Structure formats: structure tokens, C-alpha cells
Structure 1
Amino acid sequence: MTSNERWLIVGLGNPGPWFAGTRHNVGFSVVGHLAERAGARFRMRGPRCRLAEIGVADRSVLLAKPLWTINQSGPPVAGLMRSHAVPATRLLVVQDDLDFPFGVVRLKRAGGPGGHNGVRSVSDAVGTHDYLRLRFGVGRPVKGQKIGRFVLGRFTTTEAEQFPDLLERCVTAVDNLIEHGLDKAQTALHTR
């Protein structure tokens, strides 16, 4: 692995067992699946995050789960970027997204937070919006249901059955991004 090509992939989520499996923790699920597939284990790295390291296409990839609440994810991410010399061009943030129906997965570079406070925190802390994002659609709540309750809720039975295949799709997208670049990864992901 070439250390000068190191990537940082951050899954957004809330720490603790109560939040596991919720829509808002899709980011944790994706980076967890990346680690599991590679046989890597997350370890503590100070009080701010859990880290695992894997290799993708001969590049070193740090996987991170910030241990602050999702809305305060930025400072741990900025700290990791500094301590591991990862530029914003090789930062990928994995997030849940209310703007897409359940299961739609999109890769993009830059852009505003779109109402996602975790993304806003990351952008504020790293001082730019110009990083990569993997957006996992979780859909919208039914009329009258509060957004907070919805994103902190669990998937429906049907969604939970589809989730493992969608995790594989996310992992493939990450592999393609790191190995072939954004344009080719987007084409492969978005034309499926």
C-alpha cells in the first residue's frame, strides 16, 4: 500500500447500541461492512473515533466511526485528516439522505449539506465542502411523522431484507471510486 495515497472514509452515525441499525447510522453500517469484508477490526483511537485500516487497489484506507453524536462529527474528522495527512480530495463521507428514496445510492463531490447536520459539521470543521460523499437514500417520513423520529427509527421489514445487498452495492462503489476515480465510479453506480 502506498501511504501517500491514503484515503479516509468516514461513516456518519451515532455511537452506542441504541442507535445501531437506525436509518441515521447507515454510514456506520457501510464502513463496518467495508471492514468486515477485509477482515479488519475497529479499534479505539483516542476519545474521538474508532478506526480500522484496509487496503483497496494498493492504497491505504482508514475507516472511521466518530464517537461524538452525528451532529458533531466534524471535529473528529478534521483531527483525523490532520494527523494522517489526508487531503479533502481523498475524504469520503458516507451519510443517510432523506432526498432519495430508500436504497438509492449516489456518489458526488462537493455541495451543501442539504439539511444534514452531520455533513454541515464536517464541512465547517474541515473548512470546505469540496470532499466526496456517498449518499444512501432512506426516503422521507410519512406525513405527520417528525424527521428526527424517522431517521432514528429502524428500517421496515422489507427495507431490512434489501439492506445487505445495498451494503454490497456501496462497497463496490467505494472500490470503484478509489481504484478508477469519481467519474467511472459514478457511471457504474448511477447507470445500474
Structure 2
Amino acid sequence: MTMIVAGLGNPGPKYEATRHNIGFLVADALAARNNARWATHKATKSDVVELRLNGENVVVMKPRTYMNLSGQSVGGLAKYLKLSPGQIVAIHDDLDLDFGAIRLKLGGGEGGHNGLRSLTSHLNTRDYLRVRVGIGRPPGRMDVASYVLKPFSKIERDTLGVIVEEAADAVELLLELGLEAAQNRVHAR
């Protein structure tokens, strides 16, 4: 069964190292593990890599739209490939998890995340898989939008590579074992 793994983020060098782009970083890690090169999928405004993971066809994608419009690209690719929302995994930053925490789930709310809101809107359901990567809450009274669009702190950068690899491991476990078994392993860490 083919799956879409969508790393959520914002395109362009201005946003590359920001907290909101952790989904892109994980997607890049999955591509690098498989020595795959990104190609532009013009019909869906996204960059894609086709992989075989655990014997399954997987299309890893990074929307070329901004975060708030991610659903256009993800929904467009799902329609193009004739896939259901249950065949989509969204990798995204999560303010409600401590920095570096990784959680897997199916469905649920958007928690104020505009990328998820866009996916839900374009897929007409909240029932898609999610790999939530914690970025923590903004300090003091810092505006949430400012916080997610800021680069990682020096302390965060020291462990970011490990967290990105752990999130990529979580994606692979999810695809290999299914949600419940993967949750049991990932959430136990």
C-alpha cells in the first residue's frame, strides 16, 4: 500500500532552521537515509522523494506552499495518487510537547497549528496519522508565531540532529508496525 509522508514546514532559506520546519528536517533525514534526491512535483506544488520502506511504496513530500496552505499540496498529492487520509502521515512541530518529545497519533484536533488546520480542511477529515515533534512553549510572553518562526536556540541545536533522527525512526516504525505497536515503542522512550 502506498503512503504519503508529509513533512510540514515553510519553503525557502529564511525558514530553513526554524522550529516550524522540523517536519522538513525529518523528511530530509528520511530522504538522506535512502540516498534519494528530491524532485519537484509541479502539479501539487511540492518536492517529493519516492522510497521503498519495509516493502511499501512511500512518497515523502515537502509542500512548496507556506505552512498555512500545506493542505493544498498534501491534499493534491493524495488526490493525484488516489490515496485516502488514512494513508497520510504528517510530521509537524508541536508546542504542547516538551522539546524533543515525539508522539504518534491518529486524528485529533489541530491545537492551533495552521498547517494541520489546512490539512484537515483539504482532506475533509482529521483522521490522518501524525508524528508530533515537540518544540516546547515560547518563553515568557513571546508571541507563538514569533517563537515558531525563530531559529532553534544554541542549546536546542546541540541535540536537534538526534531528535530529527529519532523522529525519522518513529516514522519508519509507524510504517512498519502500525500505529499501536509503534506508539508502544516510541512513547516508552
**Shift, 1:190, TM fit:** 0.2
1:58 aligns with 2:92: no
1:107 aligns with 2:104: yes
CA distance in 2, matches of 1:185, 1:28: 21
CA distance in 2, matches of 1:72, 1:39: 28
Which among 127, 130, 138 is matched to residue 141 of structure 1? 138
The aligned residue for residue 5 of structure 2 is: 9
Counterpart amino acid of 2:39? R
Using the aligned pairs only, state the percent identity: 38
Matched length: 188
Q: Is the 8 A contact 2:102 2:167 kept in 1?
A: yes
Which among 66, 69, 83 is matched to residue 66 of structure 2? 69
Root-mean-square deviation (CA, aligned residues, Å) is: 0.9
Q: Secondary structure at the match of 1:30?
A: helix
Taking structure 1 as the reference length, the TM-score comes to: 0.96
Q: Secondary structure at the match of 1:18?
A: coil
Q: Is the 8 A contact 2:69 2:118 kept in 1?
A: yes
The aligned residue for residue 127 of structure 2 is: 130
Ranges of 4+ aligned residues in structure 1 off by more than 6 Å: none
CA distance in 1, matches of 2:155, 2:83: 38
The aligned residue for residue 40 of structure 1 is: 36
Instruction: Give per-residue Cα distances to partners, 1:35-69, cap 9 Å, x unaligned.
Output: 01110011111061111111110001001111111
Which consecutive residues of structure 1, in runs of 5 or more, have no partner in the other structure? none
The aligned residue for residue 174 of structure 2 is: 177
**Shift, 1:108, TM fit:** 0.3
Instruction: Give per-residue Cα distances to partners, 1:87-140, cap 9 Å, x unaligned.
Output: 211100011000011001100000010100110000000110001000111011
Q: Is the 8 A contact 2:22 2:164 kept in 1?
A: no
Counterpart amino acid of 2:70? S
**Shift, 1:144, TM fit:** 2.0
